[in-house]
Amino acid sequence: MEQISGGVCAAQGFTAAGVHCGIRKNRSKRDLALIYSQVPASAASVYTANLVKGAPLTVTKAHLSDGTAQAIVCNSGNANTCNADGIQVAQEMCRLTGEALGIDPHNVVVASTGVIGQRLDVTPIAAAMPQLVAALGDHSLDAAEAIMTTDTKVKELAVSFEAGGKTCRLGGIAKGSGMIHPDLATMLVFLTTDCAIAPDMLQKALKTDVAHTFNMVSVDGDTSTNDMVTILANGMAGNTPITAEGPDFAAFMQALNTVTVYLCRAIAGDGEGATKLLECRVTGAKTEAIAKTVAKSIICSSLTKAAMFGADANWGRVLCAIGYAGADVDVEKVDVSFASQKGEILVCQDGAGVDFSEELAKEILLQPEIEILVSLHQGDGSAVAWGCDLTYDYVKINGDYRT
């Protein structure tokens, strides 16, 4: 497997575009994205577990009931959620896209992100559709920019891998900075591949991967209404279609996981107001489920996040988060270390503090990427979760997000 350029356009047969249509007031910011496959593709998606769901998710779920799609259209600046006409607007976005591309509107995945509870006027989308389709090309970055809201960095990656004796490619883009605490999906993530894989195996691969990647990310503990991860696989690599588990499916899973882990880290590191990416690694749990519960509890702890912002080696906050996680853990066996590119330091052993250099700990925690290493010494279960520090700017950003 090899990292390559191109994002969602790396795979054969995929093009993308991103333009400013006028949903967002700032004309310098793109707000409408399109990803297109030359041929119909196998499609799979997972969605937020929030009972309040954006209208685009309802429409997309219906469209993907046959496991096929050919295009993805997404706007930023308005979530099209909690609106009486939301379904009609999402369907109209699909109709406009299908008409412009000459494909069945039911083969269009639709997504929206932005402010909740404000009606989405489809007029600027309709007006910009010819420009958007005309701009289709090797423009993954433009599409990635167009789906951003409070993000400060574009998030994309692509890899190549071997399956069925053919070179396949898989790439993705994502948006996500705040309102990140997923369940079954996360933020908005769009993945493309030219690998031939049956829809049921594609859904299995995505759902399995998401449980270990996007479901293990938290920025602020808020599960969004519009979270969705969608993947299209058009088969243009020419490999023997993957219809069951085996070496080719394993290779596909490895490629998928490489891209999704990268996007997880990018999303967590770009959390609203964040200055540091936090990665919590839990080992020695009785089960993987326990390890995941503990890792997520630590990453979600506001006190731990604040301590990391201040480069304060306050390991007691980590122990506290483990204690209220609701997991079967013997706290008297817990070890905690902090690590970064400046080194690693043990701060807690067997559930109690140890002598350590506060100066070295400070130096370690001042780095932009921090590892919180937890050993439970009760089994072989392990898990990784990603998050970020909690800063003053998070409140500033969300204090006037709507206005």
Q: Measure the CA–CA gap between 189 and 49, rounded to whole angstroms.
A: 16
- Indicate if 186 belongs to the active site: yes
User: Can you spell out the DSSP letters for 8-59?
Assistant: GGSSTTEEEEEE--SSSS-TTS--EEEEEEEEEEEEEEEE---SS--HHHHH
CA nearest 269: which of 260, 284, 279? 279
Burial of 19 (0-12, 13-18, 19+ CB in 10 A): buried
- Measured over the CA atoms of residue 261, residue 206, residue 381 and residue 351, the dihedral's sign is positive
Instruction: Say how far apart CA 240 and CA 195 lie, in whole Å.
Output: 9
HSE-CB at 281 with a 13 A cutoff on CA atoms is 8
> What does the block give as tokens for 157?
């990656």
Catalytic residue among 186, 213, 223, 304: 186
* Distance, CA of 77 to CA of 29 (rounded, Å): 10
User: Which residues 6+ apart lie within 8 Å of 168 measured at CB?
Assistant: 11, 160, 161, 162, 193, 194, 195, 237, 239, 252, 255
Spatial separation of the C-alpha atoms in residues 299 and 279, rounded to whole Å: 8
Identity of residue 316: G
For the record, the structure tokens of 151 come out as: 């993000």
DSSP state of 53: -
CB 242 within 8 A of CB 201: yes
Distance CA 18, CA 127 (A): 14
Rounded to the nearest 10 degrees, the angle between the axes of helix 86-101 and helix 123-134 is 30
* In contact, 257 and 218? CB cutoff 8 Å: no
213 touches 176 (CB < 8 A)? no
Task: List residues with catalytic annotation.
Answer: 186
